[in-house]
Structures are given as C-alpha cells and as structure tokens.
Amino acid sequence: MTSTDLPEADVAAAPATPEAAPEAAPAPDAAPARKASPGAALVAAMLGFALITLDTSVVNVALPAIGADLGAGMTGLQWVVDSYTLVFAALLLSSGALADRIGASRAYAVGVVGFTLASVACGLAPGLPALLVARTAQGAAAAVMLPASLALVREAYGAPVRRARAVSLWAAGATVAVALGPVVGGALTTAWSWRGIFFVNLPLGLVALALLTRVAGSARRPAPLDLPGQLTAMAALGGLTFAAIEGGTAGWWALGGAALAFAAFLVIETRRKHPMVPLGLFRDRTVAVAVTAGAANSVAFYGMVFVFSLFFQQVLGLDALGAGLMFLPMTGLLAGVNVLSAKVAARYGARLPVVVGQTVAVAGLLGLLTVDADTSRAAQALLLVPLALGVGFSLPPLIAAMMEAVPAERAGTAAGLLNAIRQTAGALAIAVFGSLVAQGMTAALRSSLLISAVLLALATLGALRLPGRRG
C-alpha cells in the first residue's frame, strides 16, 4: 500500500448511501458527550494508517531471518506475507459497511486493539503455524482499521478545506511508512531480531488508543453486510493463492475449489439486492481499465520488492539493514511523484500520466534484467528507481479516473473493490514469484521481471482508452 491508496480510502470511508440503507432505518445513535479534539483524531488516524502500511512492507526484508529462526522454507515465507495481505484485501470489500454499522470510532478502536494484540502474538510466535495465524488476525484487524481511520478524519473536520488538508496529512503518514518500511524492518532485524518488527507495534498501538479517548464517539449508520458474498470471495482468493504457492495435487484441488467459490460468488452477487460487488461496474470501460492497470502495477511493485529483498540477502549477502537501505532511493521518491502526477492529471487528464508512468515502469523492469551479482550496489539501487517513479506517477490519476467514472452512490464500493484487487494482485505476485524463487534465484529474478513487464505493457495499451484532457 502507498499514499496512492488515498482516493480509494477517502471514498471508501464515506457514510452509507441512501441506496445502501434499509428502508426503515433506525435513527443514528447519539454520540456520547466528551471533549473532542480534531487533532487527536487526525494523529490517531495517521498512526493507524501508517501501521497498516508499514506492515505490508516491513516484513519483506526480515523474511530470511524468519526462515532461519523458524525453519521455514520458501513456501512458508510466502505465507508469512500473503496470510496478512489476502485477509486484508478480502475484508476491505465490506469493512467500510462494518464501520458504518458500529460507528467509525468503535470500529477503529476494535481494529487497533486487534492489530496490536495480533502483532504481539506474531512477535511471540514459537513456530511458523502460530505466526501465520497471528498474521491472519493482523490482516483482519487492518481491514477494519483502514476505512475507520479516514472516517475519523472526515468526522473531525467539517469544513471542506480543513478536511482536505487533514486527509493529505493522513496520507502522508502512509507515504513515510512506505519509504521507511524496508529500512525500519532491516534495522530492527539486524539490531534486535525479526520479532522486533512486530513488537514495535505495541507502543504505537497504545498511543493510538490513548488518542482515541479524546475523539468524539461516532454515530452508527445502517449499512447492509453481504456475508455470503464475503465468505465466497475469501474462499476464492484463498484457494487461488494456495494453488499458486503449494502447487502439486493439493494445488490443483485448491484451484478447483477456488473456481467453485468464484462461481458461487458471481451467482450471489447477481441475486442480492445490495451486493458487496455490483458486477455492473465492470461494464464501464474506465473502471475495467483502472482495475486491470491497478492490478498490474501491484504485481510489478509488490512482486519486485519481495523478490529483490531475497536477492539482496541471498545473492549479495547483505544483512537485513543493508537490504532495506537498497530500497530507500526507490521508495523515498513516491510522495513527490504522487503530487506531481496529480497536477499533470488536472491539466491533461488521466490518460497521459497513466500511460507515461506505466511506460517508465516497464522500461525500469526491463532495465533491471541487467542486474546480477556483479552489478554494483549503487547501480542496483538506482535501477529500482524508474519502477517506483512509474508506479507512483500512474496510480493517483488512475484511481481518480475510476472514481469519476462511477455514480456517487457507488464510489465507496468501487474504491474498496479497486484497493482489494490491487492487494490481491500483489499477494498473487508474491505467491507466483516465490514459487519461481524456490527453483533458483537467478532464473526467478529474470522470469518475475519479464512477467511484470508484459502485464504492465498490456495494461498500458489498455490505458490508452482512458479519458484524456477535458475540453
């Protein structure tokens, strides 16, 4: 996740729309009287969003240490990442509705408590199975926290200008987390242990909970939950990822189960009055292009961070901190590129920055094909930069174009769908690329780069159909 998730989360946290509400809705609960602090709400939300974002990247550089300590092979390490990401992605489809039903402040408190306790459980895990269970709980808590965190900001700042500034600061926390994630993970793993990357969430979670005591309670709003759709979506995503990671006979059975679950999901969503994923959204050309391109960007970005984290340590022999520092030039530029792309899109429309950004990213992936053990470390770090520049430049206008293409009452649903698909694509990339790594690092690096480049090139061709400059 990067700061480019902002437009998705912004609309995802919006209150339930009249279309989604039951016909005879009870009056919203009155918020309990307490001295409210908008600043406390903003800092608490920023902290939570940063924790969620940090946990999607901080683990990568610690994977070799986790494997060595717990005796986990490549398959186990893939699940350490994907057990978090998959649950996070799947539950994002309906977590916004949950925040509306119980109130954003309550949902955020539940999410923070769950995330903090799950982080401690990760740090104390005696073996791989316990770690995977705790990582799954982390992902579920993160899905509850994300829409609730932005809802807190929206409720705390009523004036549009102040709200816009607050949302920008909220997103900045994620940008910092993305930039520092590999470095923080490497530093904690090298100086302490891989367990430190999870224990550090404990004091931060407690600070967020303390700040919540100064935040006004949120009203509850009626919002329908699509439990059958949610369960079948999770079964389909989980089965597909299991098939990609495990392979063999079990993998084929999982793939068949995923296909059945997906078919059931489609049937359920076409028959429900308030579906979790309105399938009609995909008939819009812009929505289809945005979803496809967003998935391709995630495959390239998250997949390469995963593969190069292993390459830097297993092939170059760097420690976790050294591997984290190799990503700093790449991730440190994301915030500035996000801002620049928004300005370009405002002037020229979405098509230009998306096509240019993805073309740069493809060129960056092809340039990385020259990397091997003899390439200087400085050159390797710099060769990662075009990928980050391209992805960071293309995603904000891509997301904005999708939000403009859907009706206002569908904006939150579309946002959650896009973010969930992007996270799922990243999880599947790690599953597939990790399976390739198990066969040999050098060949896996080349294959992963080529797969990412081809997918992103095809998505770039599709992006030519995005809306251009407005007259």
pLDDT (tens place) for every residue of the chain, 471 residues total: 444 454 333 433 333 332 333 333 344 444 444 456 777 888 888 888 888 888 877 898 999 999 999 998 888 998 999 999 889 888 887 777 777 778 888 888 999 999 999 999 999 999 999 999 999 999 999 988 888 887 788 777 777 667 767 776 777 777 778 778 888 889 999 999 999 999 999 999 999 999 988 877 666 666 677 788 888 988 888 888 888 888 777 778 888 998 999 999 999 988 888 787 888 888 888 889 989 999 999 999 989 999 999 999 989 999 999 999 999 888 878 777 877 887 888 788 888 989 999 999 999 999 999 999 899 999 999 999 999 899 888 888 887 788 778 776 666 677 678 878 888 898 889 989 988 888 888 889 999 999 999 999 999 999 998 877 655
**What's 299's domain CATH number?**
1.20.1250.20
Does residue 24 belong to any structural domain of this protein? no
Question: Domain check: are 124 and 263 in the same one?
Answer: no
Domain count, the chain: 2
Does residue 378 belong to any structural domain of this protein? yes
Question: Domain check: are 285 and 371 in the same one?
Answer: yes
CB-based contacts of 168, cutoff 8 Å, min separation 6: none
Question: Domain check: are 293 and 407 in the same one?
Answer: yes
Angle at alpha carbon of residue 178, lines to 173 and 180, rounded to 5°: 95
Question: Domain check: are 162 and 231 in the same one?
Answer: no
Does residue 182 belong to any structural domain of this protein? yes
Does residue 27 belong to any structural domain of this protein? no
Does residue 402 belong to any structural domain of this protein? yes
Does residue 103 belong to any structural domain of this protein? yes
Question: Domain check: are 362 and 437 in the same one?
Answer: yes
Question: Domain check: are 170 and 251 in the same one?
Answer: no
Question: Domain check: are 422 and 343 in the same one?
Answer: yes
Question: Domain check: are 171 and 301 in the same one?
Answer: yes
Does residue 444 belong to any structural domain of this protein? yes
CB-based contacts of 287, cutoff 8 Å, min separation 6: 281, 402, 405, 406, 414
What's the pLDDT score for residue 29? 43
Question: Domain check: are 100 and 240 in the same one?
Answer: no
Does residue 58 belong to any structural domain of this protein? yes
Domain that holds residue 234: 227-273
Question: Domain check: are 264 and 154 in the same one?
Answer: no
Question: Domain check: are 192 and 338 in the same one?
Answer: yes
* Residue closest to 301 by CA, chosen among 465, 442, 176, 433: 433
CA distances from 357 to 335, 372, 460 (A): 14, 25, 9
What pTM, to 2 d.p., does this model score?
0.80
Q: Are 434 and 247 spatial neighbours (Cβ–Cβ below 8 Å)?
A: no
Question: Domain check: are 186 and 200 in the same one?
Answer: yes
**Rounded Cα–Cα distance for residues 164 and 114 (Å):** 29
